[in-house]
Amino acid sequence: MKKFKHEYLNKALTALKFKELTKVQSQVYELFDKDNDLVIEAKTGSGKTHAFLLPILDTLDPSTADIYAVIVAPTRELATQIHKFTLDLIKHSEEPIIAHLYIGGEDKDKEVEWLKSKQPHLVIGTPGRLHDLVIKENVLKIYKTKFFVIDEADMTLDNNFLEQVDNLAATVQKAKFMIFSATIPERLKPFLRKYMDKPVIVEVHPEEIANLNISHYFLKTKEEDRFVMLKKVINVINPYLAIIFCNTKESADLVYDWMIKEGKNTCLIHGDIDYRKRKQTIKRINNLEFQYIVATDILARGIDIIGVSHIINYELPRDFEFYIHRSGRTGRIDFDGICISLYEFNDNSYLDKLEKKGVKCEYKTIKNNIIVQAVERKARDRRIRPENELDYAAKKKIRISKKVKPGYKKKYQEAVDKEKKKLARKKR
């Protein structure tokens, strides 16, 4: 295990049972002292958060009066998680290190008053609240910061936050920019060109989607209402914990109301729900109080939820990269996962992209409460007539019993409990 300059970091990592750096952490540390800015493309679970926290803290002089690093995250949940990881690392320091969290829903007036007299060493927050404190209130003095980090950049720099982050970055005099994301889409390139000087691009993909223990089932809605299809899906699975993803808050509300009417043990998470309530709901989820979660993509990344056995895409995400993020919430802890997606004829080009990405798509239908093989999606295009569809499906039956196999939930619970104990060191 690498020894850090500050002994408090070594103590913290020992307490966290941190045995060795991950690949992305090692690569970032090697490049950290160089002048170039960094763009790190690495999948969720690769250790991105500690990849920037550890070198920043190891070079931080607590006696400095200026802000040393600014870390921007797209959601309150992710910002809160980064802040928690930071507190875990600095709590053994003999000299006080101040790391403050700035997110919506907190008392802004109190934050403004505190910042009038002093500044934290580390700033962690969401674009909206940081923009208020830096630009509107002019009390958070980030212009001297040495490091400007954007986490989950493809979400942080989307159309909702791009202008705010742009304004924040423009106030910084001279800093090392570090961009971390699971993907670096084309729409981020203008921002990168504007603020980054000959960045070093590092791609770390320890787990490709094709190698995960996930079955990808696609069910065509045809002319049926989506709720009819959703009911069929719900009737043939008995998940340990399932997330039903929707593209908008409005559709999530509709699906949640429908699930409650169906008598399912369900909770709801999206951006319009009060942050404190979302935080309480996440805690209840991790206490296994629900069987179903209806959510928008706020839950696709950045929030640790253990024990997800099924993903249901009520709607395919508009950005097909988010299919990877959604489906990656299952198939963990050495368990198999199932991702079931409803799709329409217009989604064919979308599915082509997923298949090129390495997703092993299996096209299914539901007959008599059994998931069976459907006629291949492009069979008609190739004008190859398969066997009688009913005969063909009967030969390819895949039974998913409503009854959980003996000991399944007990074994899953044991694995979940074990994973919770490892979570602090596994999700860095």
Q: What is the mean pLDDT of residues 95-102?
A: 96
Q: Is a pLDDT exceeding 70 seen at residue 147? A: yes
More confident residue, 110 or 324: 110
Long-range contacts of 208-211 (CB under 8 A, 24+ apart): 208/358, 209/324, 209/327, 209/328, 209/357, 209/358, 209/359, 210/358, 210/359, 210/360
The burial class, CB within 10 Å (0-12 / 13-18 / 19+), for 345 is exposed
Q: Write down the domain spans for the chain.
A: 7-204, 209-418
What's residue 209's pLDDT?
53
More confident residue, 2 or 18: 18
pLDDT at 415: 66
192 CB-near residues (< 8 Å, 6+ apart): 39, 179, 184, 199
Main-chain phi, psi angles of 68, to 5 degrees: -95, -35
CA dist 25 and 182 (Å) reads 15
Residue 270 contacts residue 240 (beta carbons within 8 Å):
no
342: CB partners within 8 A, 6+ apart: 219, 220, 221, 226, 229, 230, 233, 313, 314, 315, 316
More confident residue, 401 or 336: 336
pLDDT by residue (tens digit) across 298-356? 888 767 687 899 999 999 998 777 888 888 888 765 678 899 999 998 898 899 988 88
Q: What CATH topology corresponds to 7-204?
A: Rossmann fold (3.40.50)
- The first and second tokens of residue 40, run together, are 């790190």
Mean pLDDT lowest for which of 76-85, 99-108, 220-229, 332-341?
A: 332-341
**7-204 and 209-418 have identical folds:** yes
Q: Give the per-residue pLDDT at 407.
A: 60
CA distance 286 to 307: 8
pLDDT for the residue numbered 279: 84
Instruction: Give CA–CA dist 120/141, Å, rounded.
Output: 10
157's enclosing H/E stretch is: none
User: What gap in Å lies between CA 321 and CA 323, rounded to an integer?
Assistant: 5
Q: What angle do CA 159, 298, 310 make, to 5 degrees?
A: 135
Calpha distance 422→428 (Å, rounded): 11
Task: Tell which residue, 132, 176, 135, 184, has the closest CA to residue 156.
Answer: 184
Q: Which of 229, 184, 192, 224 is nearest to 342 (CA)?
A: 229
Nearest to 412 by CA among 324, 342, 340, 331: 331
Highest mean pLDDT among 56-60, 304-308, 336-340, 418-422: 56-60
pLDDT band at residue 55 under the 50/70/90 scheme: very high
Return d(Cα 218, Cα 375) in angstroms, integer: 12
Please report the sign of the dihedral spanned by the C-alpha atoms of residue 187, residue 192, residue 74, residue 358: positive
Contact 207, 43 (CB under 8 A): yes
What is the rounded average pLDDT of the residues 200-212? 66
Q: What is the pLDDT of residue 379?
A: 58
Cα angle 414, 416, 422 (rounded to 5 degrees) comes to 110
By the 10 Å C-beta count (0-12 exposed, 13-18 middle, 19+ buried), 16 is classed as middle
CA max distance for the chain: 78
**pLDDT digits 0-9 by tens, 29-49:** 999 988 899 999 876 666 889
**pLDDT for 133:** 97
Over residues 243-293, the pLDDT tens digits come to: 999 999 999 999 999 999 999 999 999 988 888 898 899 889 988 899 999
pLDDT 10s digits, 215-244: 999 999 877 789 999 999 999 998 999 999
Closest C-alpha among 284, 290, 287, 301 to residue 266:
290
For residue 148, what is the enclosing H or E element? strand 147-150
21: which residues sit within 8 A by CB, 6+ positions away? 1, 2, 29, 47
CATH class of 209-418: alpha beta
